[in-house]
Amino acid sequence: MSMEIEMDLYKDWLNTVREIFRGSDIPLPEHWDDAQIGKAYYMQTSSSEQMAEERRDANEARIRHLQQTLLENMEQIVLPDIRSRTGYSGNRLRFRWVYAQGEHIVEEYSQYRIPLGPSPD
């Protein structure tokens, strides 16, 4: 059986950042690219533009590494764990990065949740 996997964890993080700014009545310009969105987020708590850029870069690398690790371990570890813990037997998976009392990766069809622990910042 072939699996259909949908996952773009960094895009999910960026969408969350957009929502945070929208919710604080300071919406980010729609035409901003990923780097501008991430930098705007980290500028809120960084002492310099350079520090904000470094934190943005580190966060992007961290989230992309998480995604790569999931994909590399999908058949041997992740999928068997999803099946045993949730009973999900489908062949579609949709992973999302979410922030709900901490960072998590959630697989939407099975409701499988991977807590990531406290945010690094």
pTM beyond 0.75, yes or no = yes
Spatial contact of 104 and 118, defined as CB atoms under 8 Å apart: no
Has residue 1 got a pLDDT over 80? Answer: no
Containing structural domain, residue 100 = 4-117
Cβ-based neighbours of 119, under 8 Å, separated by 6 or more: 99, 102, 103
SS3 114: strand
Confidence of residue 104 (pLDDT cuts 50, 70, 90): very high
The total domain count for the chain is 1
pLDDT of 29 higher than 60? yes
Amino acid at 30: E
